[in-house]
Structure 1
């Protein structure tokens, strides 16, 4: 019986990526379809006798065949039963998803084509589950685990144990938070849902040029911080952080996720004042947005024409956070790849907790 299996890291399939054509559905019809699904997700759908037929292809204005080609590039992680050497775990060469849970990959030197059943009970040679993945997803996972994209820097046996502990033996993916849009697409076969194009956009797409252009041309990023008199009327607000050095407060704030820091700034006038420093926000961008690769982060500091000296880096952080948030109905093809990278990074951080516990 035919069925699809999905990447252990990003949750997306390896085949069946159908990109529509202009004649397949008009832009207005696609917009109505996305709006209808959005209302359904919000629980506000109303029955309409004149509703269009459902669309099961991606919007060609947002993705194309080149942009989704990465999904067919399959590798896998497995564990040999009687291998000798430093590690019994192995990473296969490239291959493809055959069907019904079977994948074909190249193994060994000289390489030969070998067939495995992913997420299944294995074979005599590889008795445990075999985890399939896209290579670009694996590189994101390596960055979360080691800070590099070098496979030799990771403990493959610990990674295999971490992944297999999250394996559904009769399932088609791991028990990981891939995101609602991806989980809805994981049926018997991969569902190409309009409005979720970001989830199949290449996560390695650089947004360096887009960042440089935006920070050079957007005057809203140059709004200076608003001075707020710490004396409000006759009241002098006190704060438990008030006795701490500014450097220590900055360090504490840098450990918070972006949403938590935003809430703290809104709740505390003192923290609002202390975190108006541009140098703090330059550092916070790098710590709060680690999935933005080094070249993209570097673009905030150096470019062919240096960034404006009056940039408000708190506003830059807010813009980057909003522009790259993976959201259903996202329609900016420039930032969709980065949004997908951010989604995958969140999955990898969840997996890294199990990995680091096993390494200890």
Structure 2
């Protein structure tokens, strides 16, 4: 999209100083003439069309000393006598509202020090006073509104706009239904709730929030300076109310209304209280017409106290003006015509396009009124989030009673034992709509997962250990976290486990969270590759919590998810089941195609359901993407293990016709690189099966023979009646899968277990002078990773 600007999230104004036009008399005259023509057109409801080819007949009459004027710049810049330096200097005082998921304590939001907008949605921060803000050494530049690389976004604002928001907040607590919320400090905005509200109102491609900003037209891809809208860049705290002439009560105006008295008035029987109530909801022009049309309404509003009260309630943004009138009244000055003052203030600050230099003192108040109205639209979202943060932490029975436990998978070794415990992270359906949360993972000093869950406001919902004192944390435990915005929720978890190796255990090293919005959060070690265990909700179910066992040294030993039927969903509550792909642990190199709904997994020999087998990662490889690509395959190879006549399969590999320049693919990565030629030795011979792929030959059947601990032999059959067997046949039963007319074989998935070379010797020595009864010595141990399960991958015919 190229360069673009972002804007203040409270006023939608620019984050840099605006362009000013020429101050020459000729330029000012032409500019003001165009602005006046547009103002009159807007007033009469007509569409203003600027004449870009204005006559330059008078150019020759201009003084030769006049500066050269760029007509385009003049049409896209502000009047320098209106948008003065004093009135626009406020724009450069920028800060940002940010969020730090890893901040210590319940509050995570932060307000930066001074900031400067660069370009392309990036803002640079120069100051830091909030302890929640990441250090400047860690991060100085942030994304506005739209995140990149999974970063948290910030919301830029002018310091003056935040001052207006605080005034709006204080006024709202004292004069609206929000004052019923107990325990709120009118002088202190909860920045976490404000950040939550901003994220709710933020589009995926936003440059400001989804709020009404008072009809200004400058916030385009790049800020456009429209002559006549100088008030939109005027400091909202720059008010000239002290110089406003206060109108005096005039007796002549009373006589004017008496002549307009009508004998028939539909409001004749309406009580004054109702008329006052109606006046509170009428815009300025409509209110004036109402009082002219109804003499009853006119008489009901004669008291100056009514207009003074109406001004204070309808125009709270003019607080200096009402403070001035109160001082005037207390000093027994002349009686103020509050009715006239009300209509003057309303007229001067209502969308003042094309305001003249004579009335330019009203521009700051007009901009403040616009920003005040925008803040009023923002506050309901703020209070909704605030209510969710301070709500009760008890789980709803609608969640707990309907929740079911998914499969419980071992995720660490040594294996965990004991009773599994539950932690509900979703406490009510309302939380999904109104309350954001933080997904948190806790890691011990070895970066093993020891705690997992969410926090929302002051409430933590963690399975296992955390850093907080309530959950028994500490002792070198660290936390990584990611934000879940209002309106999005957890769809699935992808756990990253180290592959189980001899003499070493395994544990969860990484957690990838996929949200319903499609956004992803990565917690833990994001640099290395790990075996993948997916925890996915059933169709029609919602993620509700976690359950699991705590293993050795407090590490999460087994893990599963709690899920409950989504309200009004069409899910099958009685019999949800995991697919084969969802039950297995997958090698990091395995293709995600196994989770595709068009792919079917046909098991030949599979592992028994046991804790240790659940930690065996499965690999995938394919020799074609469709039936039209079988011509690429020219060889299938197998690398075997023949130690002490215990034959097993170490690796399988496919080679393709050279003209396609396809890299080799295979299974058995623990035993070597499957993209290179398989390494052959006396104990690990390599056998080949040549296939005439270019001539139309292809694999249509696979047979396997083996037990729970290893595959002893595998056979590939082609459509030409040829077959090849890799391995040593035994008396075990063969399991076969052959193609049907509806689907074709395109690859395999397999698991590999570790086996020790039985030729290696283990010696024992007596230890009479030590506390050890026996010392075990193992010389040169050698391990083999043998295939112990095989699954055929099929797809429907093209």
TM-score, normalised relative to structure 2 = 0.40
Q: Which moved more, 1:329-338 or 1:250-259?
A: 250-259
Could you tell me which of 42, 66, 87 is aligned with 2:107?
87
Whichever structure has more strand as a proportion of its residues is: 2
The residue correspondences of 1:77-226 to structure 2 (distance < 5 A) are 77-105=97-125, 106-107=127-128, 108=130, 112=136, 114-121=140-147, 127-147=151-171, 153-180=188-215, 182=216, 184-211=217-244, 214-215=245-246, 218=247, 223-226=252-255
The residue correspondences of 1:28-107 to structure 2 (distance < 5 A) are 28-38=29-39, 42-45=46-49, 49-51=53-55, 53-54=71-72, 55=74, 56-105=76-125, 106-107=127-128
Distance 2:13 2:118 in 1: 16
Distance 1:354 1:30 in 2: 41
* Equivalent position SS for 2:238: coil
Distance 2:115 2:295 in 1: 56
The question of whether the paired residues in 1 share the 8 Å contact of 2:38 and 2:48 is answered with no
1:241 matched to 2:265 = no
Distance 2:384 2:307 in 1: 31
Aligned counterpart, 2:13 = 12
The question of whether the paired residues in 2 share the 8 Å contact of 1:120 and 1:129 is answered with yes
Q: Structure 1 pair 122/80, CA: closer, same or farther in 2 (3 Å)?
A: farther
Cα displacement (A) at 1:312: 2.0
The question of whether the paired residues in 2 share the 8 Å contact of 1:19 and 1:63 is answered with yes
Alignment gaps of 5+ in structure 2: 57-70, 173-184, 388-798
Q: Structure 1 pair 220/272, CA: closer, same or farther in 2 (3 Å)?
A: closer
Aligned counterpart, 1:354 = 381
The question of whether the paired residues in 1 share the 8 Å contact of 2:170 and 2:187 is answered with no
Q: Structure 1 pair 324/26, CA: closer, same or farther in 2 (3 Å)?
A: same
Q: Structure 1 pair 165/51, CA: closer, same or farther in 2 (3 Å)?
A: farther
The question of whether the paired residues in 2 share the 8 Å contact of 1:207 and 1:296 is answered with no
Cα displacement (A) at 1:176: 1.4
Aligned counterpart, 1:336 = 363
Q: Which moved more, 1:16-25 or 1:224-233?
A: 224-233
The question of whether the paired residues in 1 share the 8 Å contact of 2:87 and 2:234 is answered with yes
* Equivalent position SS for 1:326: coil
Aligned counterpart, 1:290 = 316
Aligned pairs, number: 345
Distance 1:202 1:100 in 2: 25
Distance 1:337 1:172 in 2: 24
Q: Which moved more, 1:29-38 or 1:162-171?
A: 29-38
The question of whether the paired residues in 2 share the 8 Å contact of 1:17 and 1:192 is answered with yes
The question of whether the paired residues in 2 share the 8 Å contact of 1:16 and 1:190 is answered with no
The question of whether the paired residues in 2 share the 8 Å contact of 1:168 and 1:175 is answered with yes
* Residues 299-344 of structure 1: per-residue CA shift (max 9 Å, x gap): 1232499575333211111111112223211122211111111111
* Equivalent position SS for 2:160: helix
Distance 2:344 2:333 in 1: 16
Distance 1:202 1:222 in 2: 38
Higher relative contact order (CA 8 A, sep 6+): 1
Distance 1:70 1:176 in 2: 22
TM-score, normalised relative to structure 1 = 0.84
Could you tell me which of 269, 275, 281 is aligned with 2:301?
275
Q: Structure 1 pair 176/221, CA: closer, same or farther in 2 (3 Å)?
A: farther
Q: Structure 1 pair 196/221, CA: closer, same or farther in 2 (3 Å)?
A: farther
Q: Structure 1 pair 323/50, CA: closer, same or farther in 2 (3 Å)?
A: closer
The question of whether the paired residues in 2 share the 8 Å contact of 1:195 and 1:328 is answered with yes
Q: Structure 1 pair 257/164, CA: closer, same or farther in 2 (3 Å)?
A: farther
Structure with the greater alpha carbon radius of gyration: 2
Q: Structure 1 pair 225/101, CA: closer, same or farther in 2 (3 Å)?
A: same
Q: Structure 1 pair 223/21, CA: closer, same or farther in 2 (3 Å)?
A: farther
Cα displacement (A) at 1:258: 4.2
Distance 1:206 1:114 in 2: 34
Q: Structure 1 pair 43/271, CA: closer, same or farther in 2 (3 Å)?
A: same
Could you tell me which of 291, 316, 327 is aligned with 1:265?
291
Q: Structure 1 pair 206/222, CA: closer, same or farther in 2 (3 Å)?
A: farther
Distance 1:228 1:40 in 2: 35
Cα RMSD (Å): 3.1
Distance 1:286 1:223 in 2: 26
